[in-house]
């Protein structure tokens, strides 16, 4: 891959909660674009919401991106340490730089102090909306010195507003949506500095994207309406804006915007449910992007080689949990048994299967059941009966209640108790011989045998399962089942 230092993308989350599916897709697309073009991927924490930003949220975001395997070239390593030449990558540590640019705009007559309270502004906005009119000119834009002194004497602290043009339009050349036109008269003067002295989102991200040499801003479509104001700020500061690409919305299966009512929305919830990070990456990549041949499954290298913005779609993407589970199963089945056990370690520990109790090696058992795994919790859920007696399922109980089940199992107990060697081929020969001698169909023997020793009606190949369980366990469970069935 040819390195292209001019290509610089960024993901800039607000640390007010967990990393959700939409943010994860945005992270992934920025990472893929940078990797595809041999550029740089930057992670920046936009913590200008002083009330809602938390250290826990920062940690959760970093953990989520790390778990997804999306390494960043510049940005925070944790809440204290950072890497990269354009730091700090926390906005609240860059306050002085924002305030310097605000003073410059005010001095040049491109911004002004505004003493209006939020309540006053909201009243005017609602009245204008009710009349179908744009916001009127802010009264503080041409405030007299006397009125300004009056406001300051009363203790009002000013915000700073950026002057938006009153006429014409702002055109955004979007790399996904083409040209998008915005009427300037509909945009009120934008607050760029709060009364606390901190910057607003729209101003801080412009300053940081310029300072960090960001070449492409790839983000969700909810930010498209912010772009005209941001472009005007670039123009006022004499800076060249980056190229913009706004991603399609993500909908739930019912066609409404994806939310908690559709199930898990945060990345860490998917981790805790037992999804593989590479499967979630693959699935997220397809939420609004496709190759010309509609390829579905990618290795990590194939994904960043194939990804580019022309493959992104304007129309909303639908999040389908059924497809995600299918894809995760495909990735699970592609793992070596030892890797499956390694990935499932937290779930095996929770189930009491690590350290491994007496019994067959977990890797060997995982190899038997690999085709049935969809999520990591399926591993302990499907192999636990090899190490302990488990609750008998309703289907297994029904099979064991058949009139001939007790006689069959009693006969098998005697047969298997003396069988040597207790391995797959001899077991198959002996049990099939038992069927023939008793003139029973294989199903009349195989089904109650499986139900008695495993407590379920499905599972790995019967005879290898018996071999791995071992003579002592198999015969012991058969005797216990026979005793539980009572008199004939």
| Helix, strand, coil distribution of the chain in percent, nearest 5 | 50, 10, 40
Whether 412 is in a domain gets the answer yes
Do 101 and 220 lie in one domain? The reply is: yes
- Taking the CA atoms of residue 124, residue 127, residue 130 and residue 133 in that order, the dihedral angle to the nearest 10 degrees is -60
Whether 324 is in a domain gets the answer no
Give pLDDT, residue 129: 65
Beta strand residue intervals within 222-278, DSSP E: 243-247, 250-251
CB 26 within 8 A of CB 247: yes
- pTM value is 0.91
CB atoms within 10 A of CB 313: 13
CATH code: domain of residue 369: 1.10.8
Whether 432 is in a domain gets the answer yes
Residue that has been written with the tokens 């607003």 in this structure: 200
Whether 279 is in a domain gets the answer yes
Do 105 and 242 lie in one domain? The reply is: yes
Alpha carbons 277 and 338: distance in angstroms, whole number: 17
Whether 234 is in a domain gets the answer yes
**Can you give the length of the chain in residues?**
488
CB 452 within 8 A of CB 481: yes
CB 159 within 8 A of CB 191: yes
Give pLDDT, residue 442: 96
Strand partners, 250: 317
Domain, as residue range, for 239: 94-247
Do 241 and 254 lie in one domain? The reply is: no
Give pLDDT, residue 125: 67
- Taking the CA atoms of residue 30, residue 58, residue 200 and residue 169 in that order, the dihedral angle to the nearest 10 degrees is 20
Nearest to 228 by CA among 244, 213, 239: 244
Give pLDDT, residue 438: 95
Instruction: Report the catalytic residues.
Output: 260
CATH code: domain of residue 456: 1.10.10.350
Q: What is the percentage of the chain residues whose pLDDT exceeds 90?
A: 81
* 403-429 exposure pattern, b = at least 16 Cβ within 10 A, e = fewer: eebbebbbbbbebbeebeebebeebbe
Do 377 and 399 lie in one domain? The reply is: no
Do 255 and 128 lie in one domain? The reply is: no
Do 269 and 243 lie in one domain? The reply is: no
Give the pLDDT confidence of 412-469 residue by residue, as tens digits.
999 999 999 999 999 999 999 999 999 999 999 999 999 999 999 999 999 999 999 9
Alpha carbons 219 and 245: distance in angstroms, whole number: 7
CATH code: domain of residue 286: 3.40.50.620
Question: Could you give the angle at the alpha carbon of 370 between the alpha carbons of 366 and 374, nearest 5°?
Answer: 115
Structure tokens at 257: 């915007």
Do 99 and 239 lie in one domain? The reply is: yes
Alpha carbons 290 and 310: distance in angstroms, whole number: 9
* 328-361 exposure pattern, b = at least 16 Cβ within 10 A, e = fewer: bbebbeebebeebbebbeebbeebebbeeeebbe
Number of domains in the chain: 4
Question: At what angle are helices 471-484 and 442-454 packed, to 10 degrees?
Answer: 100
CB 259 within 8 A of CB 265: yes
Do 151 and 176 lie in one domain? The reply is: yes
Beta strand residue intervals within 185-323, DSSP E: 190-193, 216-220, 243-247, 250-251, 317-318
Whether 3 is in a domain gets the answer no
For residue 333, is it left (φ>0), alpha (ψ between -120 and 50) or beta?
A: alpha
Give pLDDT, residue 80: 83
Question: Could you give the angle at the alpha carbon of 17 between the alpha carbons of 13 and 19, nearest 5°?
Answer: 55
Do 232 and 310 lie in one domain? The reply is: no
Structure tokens at 380: 């302990």
Alpha carbons 152 and 159: distance in angstroms, whole number: 12
Beta strand residue intervals within 175-313, DSSP E: 178-183, 190-193, 216-220, 243-247, 250-251
Whether 87 is in a domain gets the answer no
Structure tokens at 285: 């990549």
Strand pairing category for 169-174 and 178-183 = antiparallel
CB atoms within 10 A of CB 5: 10
Whether 82 is in a domain gets the answer no
Do 102 and 241 lie in one domain? The reply is: yes
Structure tokens at 299: 């290795």
pLDDT average per 10 residues of sequence, the chain (488 residues): 84 93 96 96 92 90 96 92 95 96 97 87 69 70 84 89 94 97 91 95 97 98 96 98 97 84 84 97 97 93 93 94 96 96 97 90 94 96 95 95 94 95 97 96 97 95 96 97 84
Give pLDDT, residue 132: 65
314: DSSP letter: S
Do 100 and 219 lie in one domain? The reply is: yes
């Amino acid at each position: 891959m040819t390195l292209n230092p001019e290509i610089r993308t960024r993901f800039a989350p607000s640390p007010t909660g967990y990393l959700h599916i939409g943010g994860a897709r945005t992270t992934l697309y920025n990472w893929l674009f940078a990797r595809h073009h041999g550029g740089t991927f930057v992670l920046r924490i936009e913590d200008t919401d002083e009330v809602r930003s938390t250290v826990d949220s920062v940690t959760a975001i970093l953990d989520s991106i790390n778990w997804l395997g999306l390494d960043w070239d510049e940005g925070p390593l944790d809440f204290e340490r950072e890497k990269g030449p354009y730091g700090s990558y926390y906005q609240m540590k860059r306050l002085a730089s924002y305030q310097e640019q605000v003073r410059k705009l005010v001095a040049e007559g491109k911004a002004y102090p505004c003493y209006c309270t939020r309540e006053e502004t909201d009243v005017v906005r609602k009245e204008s909306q009710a009349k179908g009119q744009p916001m009127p000119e802010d009264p503080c834009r041409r405030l007299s010195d006397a009125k300004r002194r009056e406001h300051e004497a009363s203790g009002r602290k000013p915000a700073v507003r950026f002057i938006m043009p009153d006429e014409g339009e702002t055109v955004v050349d979007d790399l996904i949506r083409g040209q998008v036109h915005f009427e300037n008269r509909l945009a009120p003067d934008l607050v760029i500095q709060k009364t606390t002295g901190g910057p607003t989102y729209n101003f801080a991200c412009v300053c940081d994207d310029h300072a960090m040499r960001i070449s492409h801003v790839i983000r969700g479509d909810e930010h498209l309406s912010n772009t005209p104001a941001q472009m005007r700020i670039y123009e006022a500061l004499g800076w060249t804006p980056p190229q913009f690409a706004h991603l399609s919305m993500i909908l739930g299966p019912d066609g409404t915007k994806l939310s908690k009512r559709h199930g898990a929305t945060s990345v860490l919830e998917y981790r805790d449910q037992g999804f593989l990070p590479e499967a979630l990456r693959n699935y997220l990549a397809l939420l609004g992007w496709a190759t010309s041949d509609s390829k579905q499954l990618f290795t990590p290298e194939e994904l960043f080689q194939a990804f580019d913005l022309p493959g992104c779609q304007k129309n909303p993407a639908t999040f389908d949990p059924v497809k995600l589970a299918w894809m995760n199963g495909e990735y699970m089945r592609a793992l070596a048994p030892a890797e499956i056990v390694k990935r499932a370690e937290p779930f095996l520990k929770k189930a009491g299967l690590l350290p491994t109790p007496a019994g067959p090696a977990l890797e060997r058992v995982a190899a038997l059941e690999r085709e049935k795994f969809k999520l990591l919790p399926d591993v302990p859920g499907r192999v636990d009966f090899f190490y302990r007696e488990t609750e008998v399922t309703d289907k297994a109980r029904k099979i064991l209640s058949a009139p001939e089940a007790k006689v069959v199992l009693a006969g098998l107990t005697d047969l298997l108790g003396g069988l040597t060697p207790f391995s797959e081929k001899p077991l198959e020969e002996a049990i099939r011989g038992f069927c023939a001698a008793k003139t029973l169909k294989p199903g009349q023997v195989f089904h109650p045998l499986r139900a008695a020793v495993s407590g379920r009606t499905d599972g790995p190949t019967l005879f290898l399962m018996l071999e791995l369980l071992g003579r002592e366990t198999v015969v012991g469970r058969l005797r216990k089942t026979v005793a539980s069935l009572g008199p004939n």
